[in-house]
């Protein structure tokens, strides 16, 4: 019966296809986030020795080898519309007076 369960369970391989990193600043932010994950106990996805290298170095290597999935947030969701902000400020100023 245990053999039947083993054959039914297929291992699902994680598809790792991250987008290209377009700036060094984005690379630093991603490496810092991955470094925090490694410090909290995440397993390294590269063959670098985690006992001899700092988590930041391991994270940088993982990113350079494209072994970590990530996605970019939409620019519209991260940066509010300037016209909308101006309307909100005008409404606040009008309600105060």
Residues 17-39: tens digit of each pLDDT: 777 888 899 999 999 999 999 99
- Quick one: pLDDT band at residue 63, thresholds 50, 70, 90? very high
Among candidate residues 25, 15, 16, the one with its CA nearest the CA of residue 65: 16
Q: Which of 56-60, 63-67, 84-88 has the highest mean pLDDT?
A: 56-60
Q: Do the Cβ atoms of 64 and 48 come closer than 8 Å?
A: no
Give the model's pLDDT for residue 92.
Answer: 73
Place of tokens 């930041």: 56
Task: Tell whether 28 is covered by a domain.
Answer: yes
Task: Tell whether 54 is covered by a domain.
Answer: yes
Task: Tell whether 25 is covered by a domain.
Answer: yes
Boundaries of domain holding 70: 14-74
Average pLDDT in the 47-70 region? 91
Query: How does the average pLDDT of the chain come out, rounded?
Result: 79
**Helix 55-64 with 24-39: angle, nearest 10 deg:** 130
Name the domain count of the chain: 1
């Amino acid at each position: 019966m245990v053999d039947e369960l083993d054959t039914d369970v297929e291992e699902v391989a994680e598809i790792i296809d991250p987008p290209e990193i377009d700036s060094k600043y984005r690379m630093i932010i991603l490496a810092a986030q991955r470094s925090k994950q490694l410090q909290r106990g995440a397993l390294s996805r590269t063959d670098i020795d985690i006992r001899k290298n700092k988590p930041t170095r391991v994270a940088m290597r993982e990113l350079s080898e494209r072994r970590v999935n990530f996605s970019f947030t939409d620019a519209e969701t991260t940066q509010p519309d300037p016209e909308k902000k101006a309307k909100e400020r005008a409404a606040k100023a009008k309600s105060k007076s």
